Every structure is written in C-alpha cells, then in structure tokens.
Structure 1
Amino acid sequence: MQDRYSEIGFAQQILSLNLVPRKNGSSRGNDTSLADFSEMWYGVFLWAAVSSLVFHLPAALLALATLRQHKVARFIPIAILLMGIVGPLCGGVLTSAAIAGVYKAAGKRMISLEALVFGVGQSFCIVIISFLRVLATL
C-alpha cells in the first residue's frame, strides 16, 4: 500500500501541510503561535543559536583548510567555533528575552515564523557588523 504523499512532489507536500495558526477557535489548522514568555524566548533564542552555527561553521572549515600549515594560526577555527557558540549564549539570550518581553508586555502572540525571522535576523546583524568592523580597521 502506497503512502498518499508518494505520488505528489516535494513542494506540494510542503504546501499541503496546514501550518496556518488557528483563528477564533476554529478546528482547522495547527496552532503554532507562541503565547508564553518562555516559549517566545526559547523560539527566538533557538533560531539565533542555530543560524549562528550555520554562519560560523563554514567559516571555521574554510579557516581550517587554509591555515592548517601555519604554526599558530591553525587554532583560529577553534576561536571561530567558540564565537559561534558563545555569542548566542551571551548576547542572544539577552536580546531574545528583550524581544519576548516586548511581545508579552504588548499582549501579543508570536507566530513561529516571527521567531525564525528575529533569530536569524540577530545572527545576520552580527555578521554585517563584523564585516563593517573589519573594513573600518583598514
């Protein structure tokens, strides 16, 4: 017996998932909104941590490949990976709590997509600021 998803394409499978938040007690759709402070904070923080690692892991691998012969600089990839982990643990915790606090104080619910945008946006801002800081030292 074949699964009903085996005959349709990947894009149609994704689009057929009902991920729209439920409105006014409707039984249709999944309720993916985050209402509690801890849910909002965790959602934003998790996306910030994952996207930070997505940005820093390729940089560390590139540094490892290019600096492996150097006597001292071959340890730079370790520092890059540590910054990919320590950054979200220090700054990401605070900024995610600030975002969740604003939503909670306003009495709004956060959609899961908003948590993704805020989390990835934090990491993207860090990358942009890092590149601008390097150019200022030249």
Structure 2
Amino acid sequence: MQSESVPEIGFVQQILSLNLVPRKNGTNCGRNDTSSVYLCDFSEMWYGVFLWAVVSSLMFHLPAALLALATLRHHKVARFLPIAILLMGIVGPMFGGVLTSAAIAGVYKAAGKRMISLEALVFGVGQSFCVLIISFLRVLATL
C-alpha cells in the first residue's frame, strides 16, 4: 500500500499553471492546500518576477530580431543588428531586471505579504512593457 503524498506536477502543467518557481523543501507557506500558489520567501518572489521579466523581454525582442534579420540580411554591416537586438533582450533583464525584481520582492517581504504566481507574472511582464513603452515614446530623448 502506497503512502499518500503530494503528486508530482508535470513540466507542461507546471508552466501552464504558473508554478514556475521551485519551492524550498517543497513547502507551501505553511498551508496544506496544494492548489494555492503562494511565493513566501524573498528568493522565490525575486526569482518569479525575474523569470517572467526575462521571458517577456525575449518575447518582445525575438520578433524584432527576426524582422531585422529578414529585412537586413543583404546589408553589409547591418546584417549583424539582430544579434545586438537579442543581446539587449537578454542583457537588459540581467542587469536592470535583477534590481527591479529584487526591489519588488523586498517590498513584499518587508510588508510580510505573500505573492501569488500571477502577481509575479504581472510584475515581470510589466517591467518589460515599461521598457517597451519608454523605448517607443522616446522619453529619454527629451531629457
């Protein structure tokens, strides 16, 4: 007879249910409810927001790089522009996203709140969306 334990969640189901953040020791914030998806520890919150910031940044930059590759493939120098676009899609979240994700997680931790995985998605995608809006509005050129 098998002992009852929490069933393992498959990789695809984990992504679709926004359970992307690994748990420390399989804990669930002291709750026995396996359907709740709370991020309680600072590192869990930081990683959740940061992961979504990187993924959404790549989702914005990948089509731009593909478009640049398709339109500039015959140019002598500009054919390497898609590499720069993809690097900015990775380097931006690695430096700026790390700090802003830590700030968001720090505020949640200092307030003693738990973060839902959906909140991590909103904050992560929101970071990338703000970078996109600032880039298109050319706000920095007016300073």
Global fold match (TM > 0.5) = yes
TM-score (norm 1): 0.77
Partner of 2:80 in structure 1? Answer: 75
Map of 2:25 onto structure 1: none
Structure 2: distance between partners of 1:125 and 1:64: 25
Q: How do 1:98-137 and structure 2 match up within 5 A?
A: 98-133=103-138, 136=141
Question: Percent identical across equivalent pairs?
Answer: 82
Aligned alpha-carbon RMSD (Å): 2.5
Unaligned runs of 5+ in 1: 1-16
Q: Relative to 1, partners in 2 of residues 1:134 and 1:95: Cα closer, same or farther, differing over 3 Å?
A: closer
The runs of at least 4 consecutive aligned structure 1 residues that moved more than 4 Å come to 24-27, 134-137
Residue in 2 aligned with 1:13? none
- Give the helix-richer structure, 1 or 2: 1
SS at match of 1:40: helix
**Normalising to structure 2: TM-score of the pair?**
0.75
Query: For the residues of structure 1 that align with 2:141 and 2:95, how far apart are their CA atoms?
Result: 25
In 1, Cα distance between the equivalents of 2:31 and 2:102?
29
**Residue 135 of structure 1, CA deviation:** 9.5
Counting matched residue pairs gives 117
Partners of 1:43 and 1:134 in 2: how far apart? 29
Give per-residue Cα distances to partners, 1:12-38, cap 9 Å, x unaligned: xxxxx8x9xx9x9574x5120100000
The answer as to 2:44 corresponding to 1:39 is yes
Q: 5+ residue gaps in structure 2?
A: 1-16, 20-27
User: Displacement of 1:134 after TM fit?
Assistant: 7.9
- Which structure has the bigger radius of gyration? 1
